[in-house]
Structure 1
Amino acid sequence: MSEPTKIMLIAAEASGDALGAGLAKSLKERVGTDLTLVGVGGPRMAAEGIKSPFDIAELSILGWIDGIKAYGRVKKRIDETVAFVLRERPQAIVLIDSWGFTIRVAKAVRKVAPEITLIKYVGPQVWASRPKRAKVLTSAVDHLLALYTIDAPWFESEGLPTTVVGSSALHIDMSGADGDAFRAKRGIAADAPLLLVLPGSRPSEIERMTSVYEETVKRVKSQIPGLQVAVIAAGTVADDVAGRVAAWPFRAHLVQEDEKYAAMKAANLALATSGTVSSEIGMAGTPMVIAYRIDNLSYALMKRLVTAKYITMLNIAADREVAPEFIQHDATPENLTKAVVERLANPDLAGAQAKAQLEALEALGGGGPHPSDIAADAVLKVLADRKV
């Protein structure tokens, strides 16, 4: 009789929680009752039966300065995670995204339990900055599940076996997302301009970007009086977003996670904080304006390290600014208002941008098996190969 398989999934923020939930579902479909899943994660992984020993919301940190401020709290959670690993003794651990947290967990586990197979899901974007991280990751884990084909050569050249699984954002089934029904449910006329605001999924993003978006929307509404506004409240920061939006001096429809794709379909334009969500918006066929801010010292350091011309994946794929990006000091209400109004007032411009966004995303890869299924097969193969 074969030994039951125990796999631990570790995610430290909302995007990783979503990846972990998809991976958990695919693993269960393949292994069935002979599989035990444990881990650290959020509400989506919890829905797949993975109970986290602590709330991961406090680990969602952006920038070096925020990281320094939170060091004590994060160090405590790293220690708790390693202790959790030693209690559970899984055969494999999948460390999902969140470089700063997961690489420290990987190094600590490697020291105290070297027999455990370590798999990293989503590698650092070494083609954009800090290429030496490829060597660091190679020494810390046994296998990498990469999102894009451009990732693989950087890590394979350092000797790290890599499987390209693709991005879940490029495999979203939006066939059930009904933009018309979304509008009807909220009493938004079919011809009313609708701006969808996506402030982010990290507490620091909400803190820095929400007030910028509030002022931007206020200015846009003064130029487009009939404008309707909807705001997406992402999982771990939903309560924070709801509280801030409730204080806005104009009406905004609050959107929960389960309606976000319908909201993307319904919107004429999205105003979004840079992240994975930009690919989702692009797949929905909605033009967007991207903004991004971190603390000034972190930004100054980042500017010295980053070699990529853009931060939005579809812009990187197209090698041009398909969707306008406003970063740090450029992410002002004045600049954002101008870009938003231009696109809301010019459907041809917005339509051409939406088409170009889709073309750029198609170049990154789509179709074929879902990334969660490819990732699950790769995890099980790595485990099987280690047993031989």
Structure 2
Amino acid sequence: MSRPLKVMLVAAEASGDALGAGLAGALKARLGPEVAFVGVGGPRMAEQGIDSPFEIAELSIHGWLEGLKAYGLVKRRVADTVALAMAEKPDAVVLIDSWGFTIRVAKELRTALPGTPLIKYVGPQVWASRPGRAKTLAAAVDHLLALYAFDAPWFEREGLSTTVVGSQALHVDMGDADPAAFRASRGIAAEAPLLVVLPGSRPSEIRLMTPVYEAAVARLKAADPSLEVAVVAAGTVFADVTGRVAAWPFRAHLVGEGEKYAAMRAATVALATSGTVSTELALAGAPMVIAYRFQPLSYAIMRPFFTGKYATLFNHAADAEIARELIQNDATPEKLAAEVGRLLADPEARFVQAARQTAALDLMGREGRDPSEIAAEAVLRVIAVKGGRPA
């Protein structure tokens, strides 16, 4: 009797942890006990039985300067990941998002386990910056699982076979997310304006963005004391966000992952750090303002490499700034408060923006099949072709 198929999944951030858990679940649904997993991940992948050799929160790094400071740690964790692969000898390795970490792992594995199929799940956003990464990735892995149709041509031009699986964020089930119950549980009146703040999931994002949001919300509260505020704390940074929000000089309702979608659906307006959360907010029908800040030196180094017009995916898909983006020097408390205040004061503007966001999601492939199922099928195809095991 042949041993079960062994798949190694490697994720280094909360979003990748969720993708890895979804892929593991889809492979289990297809193969049952005929598949086993090893790898690196967080709590979601742990629920699927994947024991990580280290905490991935320490690898949640964004920006060139931050990356340089963490270089020694990243190098050690790459070595740990490669050592795990060499000990386990998986039939394939799926490297999920987290470009800086996973591309290093891919290059090391290409040498250490030259016959093992390497699959990248989520490519770098080369349409937005550093298009040369497409060529780098094509030389390092065998296949790409891309989230959006507009991703694929960039990598296929470099000879990297690509499967468009769609974004899991477009398939979030918010049917049980009850906005009325969310408001009632916190004593927020049905007609009260509610601003939901989503500061991010990386420690660096919390450090840089939370003080800006505090100052912006203070301005909005001064203009309208009836404004209710809720702050969503991602699991990877929950303690950090909780401590910071507790020190705010006005009341803010803290929201954990379990109530995130209910808060989104209850929001009058959202103020969010750029990332996957913008897609989820659009699904929830929440008009939003998007912000982002890097460390100044990191931004100065990175700015020449930004080639895209927009940071937000649905803005890119629609080729229009549907949701206002305030990046770096524009991400000031004054500008954020002005943009959020404009939406809070104008129901028609909120309705129009929410409708345009929804239309943009359709351009991104909202009606497609479950991405985890498509990804699982693609992984098995690659293993069959590259690894010689049956799909």
Q: Shared topology, TM-score over 0.5?
A: yes
Residue 244 (structure 2) aligns with = 244
Range 88-97 or range 1-10, more displaced: 1-10
Instruction: Name the counterpart of 2:185.
Output: 185
Match of 1:307 in 2: 307
Distance across 2 between alignment mates of 1:203 and 1:84: 26
**1: distance between equivalents of 2:177 and 2:230?**
16
The one-letter amino acid of 2:275's match is G
1:60 and 2:60 aligned: yes
1:264-279 equivalences under 5 Å are 264-279=264-279
Secondary structure in 1 matching 2:308: coil
Specify the SS of the correspondent of 1:254: strand
| 8 Å contact kept, 1:43–1:235 | no
**Amino acid in structure 2 at the alignment position of 1:234:** A
- Rounded to whole Å, the distance in 1 between the matches of 2:82 and 2:154 is 28
Q: Deviations over 1:36-60 (max 9, x none)?
A: 1111111111112111110000100
Please name the residue that 1:129 is paired with: 129
* Equivalent residue number for residue 365 of structure 1: 365
Q: Partner of 2:289: helix, strand, or coil? A: strand
Contact 1:317 1:364 in 2 (8 A): yes
For residues 213-253 of structure 1, the C-alpha deviation after alignment (integer angstroms, 9 at most, x for no partner) is: 11111110011111111111102111111111111111111
Match of residue 45 from structure 2: 45
Q: Retained in 1: the 8 A contact 2:166–2:368?
A: no
Quote the residue 1:207 is aligned against. Answer: 207
2:64–2:302 Cα contact (<8 Å) kept: no
TM-score (ref. length: structure 2): 0.98
How far apart, CA to CA, are the structure 2 residues paired with 1:241 and 1:127?
Answer: 32
Q: Distance in 2 between matches of 1:157 and 1:336?
A: 39
The answer to whether residue 21 in structure 2 is matched with residue 16 in structure 1 is: no
Same amino acid, percent of matched pairs: 65
| 1:211 shift after superposition | 0.5
List structure 1 segments (4+ residues) > 3 angstroms apart after TM superposition.
none
**Letter matched to residue 340 of structure 1:** V
Give the Cα–Cα distance (whole angstroms) in 2 for the partners of residues 300 and 60 of structure 1: 21
3-state DSSP of counterpart to 1:50: coil
Q: Whole-Å Cα distance in 2 between the matches of residues 45 and 83 of structure 1?
A: 19
TM-score normalised by length of structure 1: 0.98
Contact 2:208–2:294 (CA<8 Å) still a contact in 1? yes
Q: Which amino acid aligns with 2:175?
A: S
Partner SS state of residue 322, structure 1: coil
Rounded Cα–Cα distance in structure 2 between residues aligned with 1:58 and 1:111: 26
Distance 2:245 2:323 in 1: 25
Q: Which runs of 5+ in 1 are unaligned?
A: none
Match of 1:162 in 2: 162
- The alignment of Structure 1 onto Structure 2 pairs a total of residues equal to 388
How far apart, CA to CA, are the structure 2 residues paired with 1:44 and 1:269? 29
TM-align CA RMSD: 1.0
Contact kept in structure 1, 2:7 and 2:36, CA below 8 Å:
yes
| CA distance, structure 2, for counterparts of residue 280 and residue 33 of structure 1 | 33
Cα distance in structure 1, aligned partners of 2:379 and 2:258: 28
* Cα distance in structure 2, aligned partners of 1:30 and 1:291: 40
Cα distance in 2 for partners of 1:369, 1:360 equals 18
- 2:173 maps to what in 1? 173
User: 1:338 and 1:135 mapped to 2: Cα distance?
Assistant: 41
Aligned residues of 1:231 and 1:255 also touching (Cα < 8 A): yes
Report if the CA contact (8 A) 1:129-1:306 is conserved.
yes
Counterparts of 2:162 and 2:68, CA distance in 1: 31
Q: Residue in 1 aligned with 2:80?
A: 80
Between 54-63 and 153-162, report the one with greater CA deviation. 153-162
Distance (Å, rounded) in 2 between the aligned partners of 1:165 and 1:111: 28
Q: Return the alpha-carbon distance in structure 2 between the equivalents of residues 148 and 301 of structure 1.
A: 28
> Deviation digits for residues 239-289 of structure 1, max 9, x if unmatched?
111111111111111111111111100110110000010000001000000
Instruction: Give SS of 2:94's match.
Output: strand
Unaligned runs of 5+ in 2: none
CA distance in 2, matches of 1:345, 1:373: 43
Give me the whole-angstrom Cα distance separating, in 1, the residues matched to 2:367 and 2:274.
24
Residue 226 (structure 2) aligns with: 226
Task: Give the secondary-structure state (helix, strand or coil) at the position aligned to 1:110.
Answer: helix
